[in-house]
């Protein structure tokens, strides 16, 4: 998205954390935690329901649900939150290994009054006042579980890019910019809220398999599987003396334009080496730059690594397959991630 045109001082900057959106409600002696998909998830996050007992009656918070141990400075990777999702009643072991926190960034109701029409500047000031008094009033239920989304320094637009570059070290996806005089609006807030995400991770991978798509692309090969080398091709220090092999790494379905899809479809049909039902193996010759939002270790994947939101950034027609990246390159990215 394009950056806003008004002065930077008219905007609030926050980290865009990689969690799930939620609303925490304390009303009439009861607590409710709703997901963005309008699903009641009280049983999935019992520690947050317990923490909400520290909130005064008639309070509604908007924020992000993350795995964030109380003693940690940064939230945990999304992979740990995934372990909590879909678990209606998490056990003690999971609660201990993946403790959740609610990072509040907006106040929608306070003292049973609807604060949504008020400007963000007022809602933020009240939210800060509310959360800063909680530890003094009730140190046990909310300690480390109800957190205030940090406000980042932004007085000039020249500060924006350096802040964005710091997102990875803050375990964030990027920045959120919010107009201080804006009311709270449901749905997409284009014009009032802006995402400014950090650059994605990327690796060059080799096309290994292809499968036909669906709908209007059912007759075209549009679903692709890519691989990385298990060691540099021709590496003299290979421990077992075996030549380098390509290992399946990620699947991607988007990123190519119609012309590229058509050209690649023709190439796949003329370079098929094997067929496995709807899947075709192809000669490992085409290199693509893959972009993705994160990596995690995974025993379910042959490569030992799972990637989040993979997509094709570009078709590297200029690069031979032996120059594609290795699993070691992916592991280096994983180790460098916060």
Q: Which residues does the annotation mark as catalytic?
A: 16
Phi (first) and psi of residue 188, to 5 degrees: -70, 140
Element housing 291 (H / E): strand 287-292
Angle, vertex CA 198, rays to CA 177 and CA 83, nearest 5: 95
DSSP 3-state of 256:
coil
Say what the alpha-carbon torsion angle 249, 329, 83, 53 is, to the nearest 10 degrees. -150
228 near 326, Cβ under 8 Å? Answer: yes
> CB count, 10 Å around CB of 294?
19
Distance CA 101, CA 283 (A): 48
- Which run of H or of E encompasses 127? helix 120-137
Q: Alpha-carbon distance 324 to 302, whole Å?
A: 18
**Displacement of CA 192 from its chain's centroid (Å):** 21
SS3 185: coil
* Exposed / middle / buried, residue 228 (Cβ in 10 Å: 0-12, 13-18, 19+): buried
78-106 burial, b if ≥16 CB within 10 A, otherwise e? bbbbeebeeeeebeeeeeeebbbbbbbbb
CA atoms of 47 and 63, how far apart (whole Å): 16
């Amino acid at each position: 998205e394009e950056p806003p045109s008004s002065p930077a001082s008219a905007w609030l900057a926050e980290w865009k954390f990689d969690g799930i959106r939620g609303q925490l409600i304390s009303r009439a002696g009861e607590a409710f935690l709703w997901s963005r998909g309008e699903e009641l998830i009280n049983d999935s996050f019992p520690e947050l329901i317990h923490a909400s007992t520290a909130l005064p009656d008639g309070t509604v918070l908007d924020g992000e649900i993350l795995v964030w141990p109380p003693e940690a400075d940064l939230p945990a990777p999304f992979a740990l939150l995934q372990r909590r999702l879909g678990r209606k009643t998490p056990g003690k072991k999971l609660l201990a290994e993946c403790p959740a926190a609610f990072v509040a960034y907006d106040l929608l109701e306070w003292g049973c009054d609807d604060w949504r029409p008020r400007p963000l500047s007022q809602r933020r000031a009240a939210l800060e006042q509310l959360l800063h008094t909680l530890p003094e009033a009730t140190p046990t239920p909310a300690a480390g579980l109800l957190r205030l989304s940090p406000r980042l320094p932004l007085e000039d637009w020249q500060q924006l890019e350096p802040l964005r570059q710091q997102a990875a070290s803050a375990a964030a996806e990027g920045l959120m910019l919010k107009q201080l005089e804006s009311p709270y609006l449901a749905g997409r807030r284009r014009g009032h809220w802006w995402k400014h995400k950090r650059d994605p991770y990327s690796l060059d991978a080799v096309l290994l398999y292809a499968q036909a798509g669906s709908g209007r692309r059912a007759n075209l090969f549009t679903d692709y599987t890519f691989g990385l080398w298990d060691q540099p091709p021709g590496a003299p220090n290979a421990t077992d003396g075996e030549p380098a092999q390509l290992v399946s790494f990620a699947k991607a379905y988007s990123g190519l334009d119609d012309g590229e899809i058509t050209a690649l479809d023709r190439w796949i049909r003329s370079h098929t080496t094997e067929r496995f039902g709807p899947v075709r193996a192809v000669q490992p010759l085409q290199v693509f730059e893959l972009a993705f939002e994160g990596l995690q270790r995974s025993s379910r994947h042959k490569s030992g690594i799972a990637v989040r939101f993979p997509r094709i950034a570009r078709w590297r027609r200029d690069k031979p397959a032996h120059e594609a990246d290795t699993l070691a390159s992916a592991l280096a990215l994983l180790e460098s991630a916060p």
